[in-house]
Each structure stands twice: as C-alpha cells, then as structure tokens.
C-alpha cells in the first residue's frame, strides 16, 4: 500500500500503521506523508521506505506508482489527511487503478461523496471507509443478534459519543488537531457532528440495520469564539417506525471516548460501550440479563472472525482498526485471485456508509438551523 498524509507529526497515520501491521497482510511501500517536504522525507526515512518511493506530492506519487511494473505496483492507497484533502486524492487514485482506504467523513460534501461512488462503480475497485467502531467483535455480535430477530421489532435506539477535549478554546493555542477540526474550510459544515457525530450515526445504522428517515436536531457552539459546533443532539426516526436519540459533544469535560449504543426491541435490549468493549449486555423483558463476552465459543461467525485472543484478554481500538484493514486486505486478495470473498471479510464500511455519513452532516446542520420540528432525511 501507499499512504497519503499521516507523517511523523500526525495522529491518525500512526494508528493506521499499527493497525495494518498487526496481521502482516499489508506492507507500506510508498508514501506522500506530509505537505511539508522536510517532514514527508523524514517520515519516509523513519519508516524505512525506499528513497525513490518517498514523495513530497501525492499527485507525483500516484503518477509514478501507476507506472510501476505489476509485481511492484501498489494494490491500494490509504488517505489519512484532513477532510478537505479526501476527495481529490481518492478520485485520482481510482483513476490510476488503485483501491482506496479513506478516513471519515468520506469527503468534504455530499456532492463529492456521490461523485466518488460513481467513480468507484465505473472502475470496479474497492473502498474501505474507516468507521473504526464497526470493527469491534461485540459490535458485530450486536448486529448479528438484532438481525436474528431475537429481540423482536426494534423500537428505540440511543447512541452517544461524549468527549471533553475541546472544553477550552484549544485551537487558539495552535494545537494541530483542534485547529483543523474546528476550521470550516478544512473540516466542513459541521464540527463535533462531523467528527464524532458521524461515528455515532454510522454505529446506529450499522448495528440496527435500519436507516434514519427524519430528524430533529440542535447544534450548539459552547466555547466562545469557536466557528463550528462543539455540541449537539438529534431526535431520530427510522424506516421501521422506531425512534431514537443521538448525542455528540466535545465539551463534556472529563469524558474521553466512551462511545455507547443501546437498542431496545419488543422482547428486550442490547447495550455496548467502548469503555468495556469486550462485553455485550443483553437485557430481557421476562428473564435475567445475559452477558456476552469476546473470545468465547458461542459468538456469531462475524464476531468470532474479528476476535484475536482468548476470552479475558482485552482487545480494543487498535484491534478494531486492524479488523477493518484485515477484512479489506482479504477481500482484495480474493478479488485479485478471482475468488469470492467470504461474507465475514466483506463486513467493512464503504462508499454507501460514506454517503449516508455526509447526508447526516448536511441534514443535521440543516435541521439545527431550522425552526421546523421534523425534517426529512435527504440523500
């Protein structure tokens, strides 16, 4: 693979490298790792890339890598840049015949996401969208459990993502992550809702298998001087008649990243949270609650495939990220060998989830600015 962005001064690039290295399925052989030429070169040297495959411009990288012989040519490109530098490198990579891994949200706008889908369909290539939380084994167990109908018709969905790291005007200090994430020219139309609200939205639709059809939202700027929302919530209506609540905030002082989802059906409910990621709690209407644990023998094939250690050994964020990369790599290898990928391998977010995520951003901003109680969710 080749990487665009993610140099030594970046956060998420290192996370990606830890993740794809975990299974030995992927080798990083080329990179345009920073817009700063010195950092790009230094980062490539740190990662022991060959000198002629360290680039200071992603366009040059894609041009030169596309001309490589088949046995040396990239299989895919991973794009780990800020939101406003997702679309152009992704489109160019697809044009050059490279599969794509991309950070969320998938693009800067819904219009770009739709164009990317069209390009993907025209090329027949594959795309992985890094919604990390879908990689957790017990999130996959929750999805399969609800899919089985064990809880009956789904009635209520509650999903939340509280953070506290932007409780102060951190971007004023020049902190890199805060600076670009709160800048509408780099982040897009939404702040907290674009950054972590999209994760909550994706988690709700992934676990339930439902789609949001209407919403009523409020977005807030809590920290004075900030340009984008740092807090918000939305009432949701789903396509089966269920209702729900989504909350995403980055000003919950003291909170870290405790993503949490609860879903209730006619017969009971499920609960999962990242702070106890190896546990899925199932609550019943007429019998004692049950605790499902990662690494055990009674899980679905989708959960078991994504477990890496025996029960009791904690697996977390990096392993979930690695599961996305492994499933994507296994799928690509199968396609390259003209084989049919297993269903478990195909269970990773792609362009459809990307379009839904961008639609969420645009709809939640539109609803937050409107005086209407309910607005249709438009894609």
What would the pLDDT profile of 28-65 be if each residue is shown by its tens digit? Answer: 999 999 999 999 999 999 999 999 999 999 999 999 99
Which of 76, 105, 130 represents a domain boundary (last residue)? 130
Residue 46 belongs to a domain: yes
Residue 349 belongs to a domain: no
- Does residue 50 sit in the same domain as residue 190? no
Q: Which residues contact 201 (CB under 8 A, 6 or more apart)?
A: 159, 212, 246, 356, 357, 360
What phi-psi label fits residue 47: left (phi over 0), alpha (psi between -120 and 50 degrees) or beta? alpha
d(CA 129, CA 241): 28
What would the pLDDT profile of 320-373 be if each residue is shown by its tens digit? Answer: 999 999 999 999 999 999 999 999 999 999 999 999 999 999 999 999 999 999
- Does residue 179 sit in the same domain as residue 296? yes
Map residue 237 onto helix, strand or coil.
strand
Of 248, 149, 254, give the one whose Cα is nearest residue 204. Answer: 248
Residue 342 belongs to a domain: no
- Does residue 143 sit in the same domain as residue 118? no
The pTM assigned to this predicted structure is: 0.96
What would the pLDDT profile of 116-131 be if each residue is shown by its tens digit? Answer: 999 999 999 999 999 9
Q: Please state the domain count of the chain.
A: 2
Confidence of residue 374 (pLDDT cuts 50, 70, 90): very high
- Does residue 100 sit in the same domain as residue 194? no
Confidence of residue 243 (pLDDT cuts 50, 70, 90): very high
Encode burial over 254-269: b for 16+ CB neighbours within 10 A, e otherwise.
Answer: ebeeebbbbbbbeebb
Confidence of residue 105 (pLDDT cuts 50, 70, 90): very high
d(CA 194, CA 371): 21
Residue 300 belongs to a domain: yes
For residue 265, give the H/E element and its range: strand 260-265
pLDDT the model gives residue 168:
98
DSSP 8-state class, residue 171: G
**Rounded mean pLDDT of 144-161?**
98
**CATH classification at residue 69:** 3.40.50.720
Question: Residues of the chain with pLDDT > 70: what percent?
Answer: 100
Helix axes 58-66, 87-95, angle to 10 degrees: 10
**Rounded mean pLDDT of 301-313?**
97
Find residue 281's DSSP bridge partners.
271, 291
- Does residue 155 sit in the same domain as residue 273? yes
**CATH classification at residue 284:** 3.30.360.10
pLDDT the model gives residue 274:
97
* 41 alpha-carbon distance from chain centroid: 28
pLDDT the model gives residue 184:
96
Alpha helices in 69-220 (DSSP H): 87-95, 110-123, 137-147, 176-181, 184-187, 192, 198-208
**Rounded mean pLDDT of 265-287?**
98
- Does residue 95 sit in the same domain as residue 22? yes
What would the pLDDT profile of 67-93 be if each residue is shown by its tens digit? Answer: 999 999 999 999 999 999 999 999 999
Residue 330 belongs to a domain: no
- Does residue 99 sit in the same domain as residue 170? no
Which of 102, 130, 158 represents a domain boundary (last residue)? 130
pLDDT the model gives residue 174:
93
Which of 130, 165, 186 represents a domain boundary (last residue)? 130
- Does residue 114 sit in the same domain as residue 182? no
pLDDT the model gives residue 160:
98
Confidence of residue 200 (pLDDT cuts 50, 70, 90): very high
- Does residue 111 sit in the same domain as residue 18? yes
- Does residue 144 sit in the same domain as residue 264? yes
What would the pLDDT profile of 174-184 be if each residue is shown by its tens digit? Answer: 999 999 999 99
Residue 374 belongs to a domain: no
Q: Which residues contact 96 (CB under 8 A, 6 or more apart)?
A: 62, 63, 65, 66
| Strands annotated E in 9-135 | 30-32, 76-79, 99-102, 127-129
- Using only the alpha carbons of the chain, give its radius of gyration: 21
Residue 123 belongs to a domain: yes
Averaged confidence pLDDT in the chain: 97
Give helix then strand counts, H and E, for the chain: 13, 14
- Does residue 141 sit in the same domain as residue 126? no
- Structural domain that includes position 178: 137-312+354-369
- Does residue 168 sit in the same domain as residue 111? no
Residue 165 belongs to a domain: yes
């Amino acid at each position: 693979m080749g990487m665009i962005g993610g140099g030594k001064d970046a956060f998420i690039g290192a996370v990606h490298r830890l993740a794809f290295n975990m299974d030995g399925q992927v080798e990083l052989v080329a990179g345009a790792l920073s817009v700063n030429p010195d950092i790009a070169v230094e980062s490539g040297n740190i990662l022991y890339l060959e000198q002629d495959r360290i680039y200071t411009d992603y366009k040059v990288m894609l041009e030169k890598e596309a001309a490589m012989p088949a046995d040396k040519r990239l299989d895919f490109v991973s794009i780990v840049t800020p939101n406003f530098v997702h679309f152009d490198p992704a489109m160019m990579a697809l044009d050059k015949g490279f599969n794509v891994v991309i950070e969320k949200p998938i693009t800067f706008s819904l219009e770009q996401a739709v164009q990317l889908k069209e390009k993907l369909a025209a090329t027949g290539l594959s795309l992985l969208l890094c919604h990390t939380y879908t990689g957790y084994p017990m999130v996959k167990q929750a999805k399969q459990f609800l899919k089985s109908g064990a809880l009956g018709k789904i009635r209520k969905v509650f999903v939340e993502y509280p953070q506290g790291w932007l409780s102060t005007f951190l971007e004023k200090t020049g902190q890199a992550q805060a600076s670009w994430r709160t800048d509408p020219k780099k982040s897009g139309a939404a702040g907290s809702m674009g950054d972590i609200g999209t994760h909550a939205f994706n988690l709700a639709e992934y676990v339930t298998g439902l789609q949001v059809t209407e919403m009523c939202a409020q977005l807030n700027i809590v920290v004075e001087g900030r340009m984008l929302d740092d807090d918000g919530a939305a009432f949701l209506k789903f396509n089966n008649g269920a209702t729900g609540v989504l909350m995403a905030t980055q000003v919950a002082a003291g909170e870290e990243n405790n993503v949490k989802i609860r879903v209730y059906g006619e017969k009971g409910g499920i609960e999962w949270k990242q702070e106890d990621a190896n546990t899925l709690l199932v609550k019943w209407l007429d019998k004692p609650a049950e605790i499902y644990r990662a690494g055990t023998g009674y899980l679905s094939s989708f959960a078991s495939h994504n477990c890496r250690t025996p029960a009791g050994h904690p697996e977390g964020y990096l392993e979930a990220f690695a599961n996305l990369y492994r499933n994507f790599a296994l799928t690509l290898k199968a396609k390259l060998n003209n084989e049919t990928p297993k269903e478990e391998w195909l269970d990773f977010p792609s362009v459809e989830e990307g379009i839904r995520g961008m639609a969420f951003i645009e709809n939640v901003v539109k609803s937050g600015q409107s005086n209407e109680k309910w607005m249709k969710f438009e894609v």
